[in-house]
Amino acid sequence: MASSAADDSPLAHHSDSDLQGFFVLHKASNRKLEANSGRKTRRKIELSQSFHKSPEKSEAKVTKCYDDQYYEKLRLEALDCVWSKIESTIKDVLRNINVHVFNEIDHWIQQSFESIRLRGTPDLNQATCSYPITTDVISKRLFAGLVFTKNMEFVDDLLTFADLGLHLKSHGRHVANLSSFDFSAKSGIGGCLRRLLRQFLMVSVVEAADVSVLASWYVEQGNNENPVVVIIEDMERCCGPVLSDFIILLSEWVVKIPIIIIMGVATAIDAPRNILSANALQFLSPCKFILGSPAERLDAIIEAVLVKHCSGFTVGHKVATFLRNCFLRQDGTLSSLIRALKLNGSYSNVLRSVRQMAVVQHFSMEPSSFILQELLHEEESQVVFSSAKVRTFMVVLLAILFCIPSYGYKSHGTRNTSYFQKRSSSKDLIFHLIGGTHNKYALLLLSLACYAEDSSLSCAERLVARNVLAETDGETWAHGLSELKRLQKLWSSVVLCLHEAGKCQKISLLDLYTEVLNPDLYNSRDSNHHLLEKGFRKPSGIYRQHHLANCSRVGEKSPRAPLRRHTAQSNANTEKSAKGLNEKAAMLMGSMVRDYLQPIECIPFHEICCFKDLDKLQLVRTVYHFIWYSLALEHGDLINLHDWYQSFKATIRHPSNKGKHKLKQSISPKKRKDLDESQNRNEASVQYPCFYC
């Protein structure tokens, strides 16, 4: 059965992407080391023995599942599956966010094109003649759409502009995407024209890049129905004089070729004024478009990925807080770093990147996370949970139960958790647990699991324990897991309700998310959520919330019928009854929050789908920073992200070139001496790569 699981996945061996390199880099997490150390060799011998000698099927299964490689394969599969799901969700979300603005831009392009055409449609002779066919100032102006990304880090928007290009192309426009690299002082105006021609003409080599070529191409191809759109991705980074020249140059041709420019502006409206010459500004007829701000986009992503659980994967409170802080304080850095690392700039937000990191981390250290995949499958195909396959996994899970502290957490509270964290797995502890337990069944299983693993016990004892484990049916686990899913669904509906209510107060989902994840707040049963209170203050907020409470599927148990009546009233009623309604709604909300807003970390089995180990995450970040820092030393200067990426890619691609080796090469002793004082803090991080590469 286990082997069938392996056969199911064609993705078991995916070695192409950077992903694996990444995985390898962080594979050796502490927990795994802890779990494996000392036992590995012995178990392997055991394994072979059991294969040859033992006819006992269940035992073979169990031992096989213990095999590291098998685990790894399963986990990689799960990672692949979950990540691809997350990724596609994120892509959809971002596309949906932008599609409105894109349509607006397209509409504007059409309008601009029509107004250019009002000035006349030149024929071939006119279009290719060298002298200006009109000297009217207004008709020489170039339509320029300024797309404000509201984000200083332009890297987050590379994909946006590629998408925009595709969107416009699908509407029949001729589109060329230029970036700031094409507007460098070094290559001058020839560089950007060459690049422009290459994209439009599809000719590899244009000897002398001349706009007249574009003109004759445009007229010859009979392209008269559609304008030529030039997208410049990151205006701020362009060389000002070159861009100005480019604009003035195009303005000489605008009647002959209907060119429309779209420029991405990362900062403020002053940017074009600061960069372009007054003369060039004179030739622009600008129009402003605003993309969703990073915070909005982030909210949308959180909603889709983390709150609605598209993949089943979530993060713990600490991690969420960490992510939030990263976003607010250091934002783009991380996004760009990791994004660049992963997939040539196809992901866009800090949270995404970090979480991605979290995902990898999670899958690399949580042995049970492959169950997540099963959860996913279950969701899709509606397979009954206690299928045979799942049962197998249950057994495996049982065997590695000691990795899941929350089970004990639930049944015994904090006291036992600390025991589990120590996990000395000594006999005494086990017996102590069994003796003091109330929930005997669970604890029995638990101890059995530990028992089966404990190498200090005799072989026979272990065998017995394993047999018991194998015979246990997976009912408990199936129940626990489905409960987990149900609670998650309830939780997400409540969170969305709260968000809806908080919209009037401009509470971002990110803040809300980090707050509702806080297990301390929940445990203290202190329903005075700060954000919640804010939401209740305004009547309008309450109305919305109220309404939403009706619409959302807040579990099957919530009393729907009376609520509906309330809504009808609330629409009809005037201000007078608003107060009473507010109170009712507040009560409802309060009870909903009490009953359903259970942070993921308080739900049993959450380790399966929840990543909460902050230290690991920070460790990873330190590794990035080290690479960044060593590069900075190497160049003796600030580095742009592109170089960083190249260097990181090189590191990832050739993990065999030991970090140590590279380190020695890269930092000359003199420089190292210079930076010793300031680098004390980074001493630690210097060592990590040597560890992991």
Site for another protein in 86-145 (CB under 8 A): 104, 107-108, 123-126, 128-133, 135, 137-138, 140-141
CA 323, CA 349: separation in Å to the nearest integer?
11
Sites for another protein among residues 650-689 (CB under 8 A): 678-679, 681-682
| Least spacing, CB of residue 266 vs another protein, in Å | 6
| Least spacing, CB of residue 303 vs another protein, in Å | 18
CA 283, CA 141: separation in Å to the nearest integer?
5
Which listed range, 86-94, 277-285, 354-362, 593-601, lies at the site for another protein (CB under 8 A)? 277-285
Sites for another protein among residues 302-361 (CB under 8 A): 318, 321-322, 325-333, 337
| Least spacing, CB of residue 525 vs another protein, in Å | 17
CA 633, CA 647: separation in Å to the nearest integer?
13
| Least spacing, CB of residue 138 vs another protein, in Å | 6
Q: Measured from the CB atom, is 625 or 672 closer to another protein?
A: 625
Candidate residues 639, 663, 667, 686; the one interacting with another protein per rule CB under 8 A: 639
CA 444, CA 497: separation in Å to the nearest integer?
40
Candidate residues 79, 146, 306, 593; the one interacting with another protein per rule CB under 8 A: 146
| Least spacing, CB of residue 121 vs another protein, in Å | 11
Token pair for residue 66?
A: 């213990």
Does residue 604 sit in helix, strand or coil? coil
Q: Count residues binding another protein (CB under 8 A).
A: 109
CA 349, CA 271: separation in Å to the nearest integer?
23
Q: What is the dihedral of CA 679, 685, 686, 687, to 10 degrees?
A: 140
CA 683, CA 377: separation in Å to the nearest integer?
45
Sites for another protein among residues 517-536 (CB under 8 A): 520, 530
Candidate residues 33, 269, 343, 650; the one interacting with another protein per rule CB under 8 A: 269
DSSP E strand boundaries for 465-559 = none
- The DSSP 8-state label assigned to residue 474 in this structure reads T
Lay out the site mask for another protein across 175-214 (x = CB under 8 A, - = otherwise).
-------------xxx------x---x-x--xxx-xxxx-
Candidate residues 227, 272, 659, 689; the one interacting with another protein per rule CB under 8 A: 272
Q: Measured from the CB atom, is 279 or 665 closer to another protein?
A: 279
Residue where the block lists tokens 């148990």 = 557
CA 70, CA 34: separation in Å to the nearest integer?
18
Q: What is the dihedral of CA 526, 527, 528, 534, to 10 degrees?
A: 160
610-611 vs 174-178, strand pairing mode: unpaired
Q: Is 399 in the site for another protein (CB under 8 A)?
A: no
Q: Residue 316 in contact with residue 499, Cβ under 8 Å? A: no
Candidate residues 159, 229, 275, 585; the one interacting with another protein per rule CB under 8 A: 275
CA 513, CA 508: separation in Å to the nearest integer?
9
Does residue 55 sit in helix, strand or coil? coil
CA 323, CA 348: separation in Å to the nearest integer?
14
Sites for another protein among residues 592-631 (CB under 8 A): 614, 618, 621-622, 624-625, 628-629
Q: Measured from the CB atom, is 272 or 604 closer to another protein?
A: 272
Candidate residues 66, 83, 154, 596; the one interacting with another protein per rule CB under 8 A: 154
Token pair for residue 357?
A: 């990191």
Q: Measured from the CB atom, is 277 or 552 closer to another protein?
A: 277
